[in-house]
Every structure is written in C-alpha cells, then in structure tokens.
Amino acid sequence: MGREQSLDGAPKRPADVICLSHLRWNFVFQRPQHLLTRCARGRRVFFVEEAIEGAGAPHLDVHEASPGVHVVVPCLPAGTSDEESVACQEELLAGLVHQRRVEDYLLWYYTPMALPFTRRLSPRAVVYDCMDELSAFAGAPRALRERETELLSRASLVLTGGHSLYEAKRRRHPNVHALPSSVDVEHFGRARRVVVEPADQAQIPQPRLGFFGVLDERMDVDLLAAVAEARPDFQIVMVGPVVKIDPARLPRPRNIHYLGKKAYDELPSYLAGWDVAILPFARNESTRFISPTKTPEYLAGGKPVVSTSIHDVVKPYGELGFARIADTPADFIAAVDACLAPPRGAAAQRQARARLSLIDTHLAGMSWDGTWAQIEALLDAAMSLHGRSAREK
C-alpha cells in the first residue's frame, strides 16, 4: 500500500483502525485475528470489545495483545443501564481517540450493536466485515436487524465472510465484496508431519473423527449422538469451547471425547491424529450463512472431510470432490467409512495423489495474506472516494 504525503511532504502514516467486535480477541483465533494482525503490520489497530461490568468508575482496559493490535475493553460499574452504557462508552472512546492521537482513522465493524456509541466519531471510512448472520444466532438482540440496516447505510465498504452471505447482502449496499475464509496452509500443513501427539488425545483409540471450533447451537448434537451410538468403534474428538448452550445438551457416550479449548498453535497437532475431519453442523437458521474457516484448514492438514450440507461447504468443496456431504446418520457413517477405506491398487493410489495435488493447488490461492492484500486495495479505494466526496462538498 502506497503512503500518502502530509502537507510538508513527509510520508503520512496510514489511517488507524478502530474495530468494534462482539468477539473477544483471546477467545478463538479466527477471521478478525487473521485479518487484523496483518492490518497491524502497517496501521495501528484498536480492537474494541464488548463492555464488561465490575467495580470502580468507568474506564478502558487497554493492552497490546499482538504487535500493533491494542485490545480495548470498556469497564463499566455493575448495574449500568443501557442508556448509561452508551453514554459511558461514547465518552471513553472519545478519550481514547484524543489520548492516543487517533486523528486519521476508519471504523471497522463486526457488530452493528456498536453503532449507538460510535455515531459521533468522524472516521475517514466505515467498513462492515460481515462474517456471520448474527441475527440468526441464539439470543440475538431484537435491535440487531435495525442496527444492521443503519450500518449498511453508513458503510463505505462491506465485506462478507462467504458467498451465501454475499448473496444475502449484495442488494443492500452498492459496494459489497465476498471474501470467504482463507487458510494458513503452512500452519495447518504441519499436521501432515506431526509425530508426537498431545497427551489428552494420545490415549484415544482409532479410528478418530475430529472437529475443532466453537461448540454452540450450530452443532447437530442429535447427529453426533446417533453416529456415536451406531458405531461405537468410531472415536469422536471434539476440540473447542462450549458457548451459548448448556453443556448438558451435549451427548456423552464413551466414544465422544470433549477436550476443551486449545490454542491456535496447538490445532495442527490434534488434526494430525485424526483419520477423518468432520463438520457436523445442524441445518437451521444459525448455519444458513456460515462459511466454516475450518474446512480449508482440515484440507491443508491433509485430512479427508465429511460435512453436513452447509451451503458454503457444498460449494465449492463438495462439488469439487474435496469433501463428502452427508446429513443423515446412515449417510454420515457411510461417508466416513469411504474416507477410511485405503485406496487399493496402483490406479486408486494415483487418483488419491492427484486429488491431494488438486486440493493443494486450490488452497494455494486462499492465503490470508492474499485476502488482506485484496482488502487493502478496497480500503484505499473507499478512502480515496471518501476524500473526493469531502472535497466536493
């Protein structure tokens, strides 16, 4: 990205980014972290999380979580009303902008619910990175749809985390771009070489069916239970935190193993020990627009993939033959068995190698670095357009 010049001819620092997120930076390393760590190589990033309540006067907890990424947590007194919360956060953010000399910046939204306390800010451009249809999730605020409509009216640029989301948003804004989940091929490619297994997985027998990600209302717990019951020889390994659902809802047969949340750096070592990687998502409103980042991550690790018929998995991975699609317990089991069957004969082995080569070629064009380069170009265009509009006024 080329740097602009200030009035005295010196290079001007690229605009800072104030990101408003419903996700915690240290929760699960996913799209926001991938994009904003790359953004922070050239810009200051202030990642503003949802407020927390506690003791003491309203204040901001600010710390640098990654080079150039400053995580900002508004801390409010217990019992703060919604109206007071908006006023406090508005004042706290204004203070942050002043104290950190954030003079040229853009607002980057992951949640429309941050609009009430950011309306008075004066960004150079507004970006809405729509990575999920939040209004379809359990417990979604009633005002979310209305706030999203307002955000779309204010946004200079809209990004979507998948093609199904793009189709849902493209008629609602003139500058929408589909930028589906990318993959760090080198990172997850370690799963093809890992020899030493994590201690909590090493004692689990094989064959292993594995999943990593958030365990929430999007999980098809009935499918998991049925597969585990029908095939007690399958060992199902579930890696990730349980969120927004009662853990008691999760099936607990002896052959399903819940290993909890793991760090991003640990995931390839778990993936390495699986025979089949699975995406057992329910088919409901909360999964209608998802584009699971883990699909290309599983493939980068060299694992066969079995998924329910999630739109952004079927297209392209199912259609290309990179993932098997199955919705019923019987079909899911049959798909897993097909993955477990070794290729017999020279022709089948050549076909398997050719398929892996095709997958690797496909993944080579899906790097997060490449995705960020596309976004940088879109940001430049959006800010340039904003600058021209301001001059014309």
Q: Are 195 and 288 within one domain? A: yes
pLDDT band at 7 (very low <50, low <70, confident <90, very high): very low
Residue entry with tokens 């390839």? 268
Check residue 161 and report its DSSP letter: S
Taking Cα atoms as reference points, which of 312, 376, 348 lies closest to residue 38? 376
Q: Are 41 and 147 within one domain? A: yes
Q: Give pLDDT, residue 286.
A: 87
Q: Are 246 and 356 within one domain? A: yes
Whole-model pTM: value is 0.91
For residue 306, the domain's CATH number is: 3.40.50.2000
Q: Are 273 and 133 within one domain? A: no
On the CB side of 30, CA atoms within 13 Å amount to 22
Residue 11 lies in a domain: no
What average pLDDT score do residues 378-388 get? Answer: 78
Q: Are 142 and 169 within one domain? A: yes
Residue 358 lies in a domain: yes
Residue 337 lies in a domain: yes
pLDDT in tens, 28-62: 999 999 999 999 999 999 999 999 998 789 999 99
Residues 306, 335 contacting (CB under 8 angstroms): yes
In whole angstroms, what separates CA 153 from the centre of its chain? 24
Beta bridge partners of 177: 159
- Is the pLDDT at 388 greater than 50? The verdict is no
For residues 262 and 239, what is the distance between their CA atoms, to the nearest angstrom?
7
Q: Are 118 and 237 within one domain? A: no
Domain tally, the chain = 2
Q: Are 148 and 257 within one domain? A: no
Mean pLDDT, the chain, rounded, equals: 92
Q: Give pLDDT, residue 136.
A: 81
Residue type, 92: L
Residue 7 lies in a domain: no
Burial class, 156, CB count within 10 angstroms (exposed 0-12 / middle 13-18 / buried 19+): buried
pLDDT in tens, 228-277: 999 999 999 999 999 989 999 999 999 999 999 999 999 999 999 999 99
Q: Are 289 and 388 within one domain? A: no
Q: Are 93 and 198 within one domain? A: no
Q: Give pLDDT, residue 285.
A: 87
Q: Are 93 and 152 within one domain? A: yes
pLDDT in tens, 278-288: 999 999 888 99
Instruction: Extract the tokens encoding 206.
Output: 């094989």
What's the Cα-to-Cα distance from 3 to each of 18, 46, 279, 372, 389, rounded to whole Å?
19, 20, 43, 17, 20
Residue 72 lies in a domain: yes
Q: Are 195 and 315 within one domain? A: yes
What average pLDDT score do residues 209-217 get? Answer: 96
Residue 4 lies in a domain: no
Residue 96 lies in a domain: yes
Q: Give pLDDT, residue 11.
A: 53
Residue 8 lies in a domain: no
- Is the pLDDT at 138 greater than 80? The verdict is no
In whole angstroms, what separates CA 172 from the centre of its chain? 22
Q: Give pLDDT, residue 139.
A: 77
Q: Give pLDDT, residue 2.
A: 45
- Main-chain phi, psi angles of 377, to 5 degrees: -65, -40
pLDDT band at 313 (very low <50, low <70, confident <90, very high): very high
Contacts with 68 (C-beta within 8 Å, 6 or more apart), sequence order: 37, 39, 40, 41, 43, 44, 45
Domain encompassing residue 73? 16-182+368-392
Q: Are 212 and 236 within one domain? A: yes
pLDDT band at 386 (very low <50, low <70, confident <90, very high): low
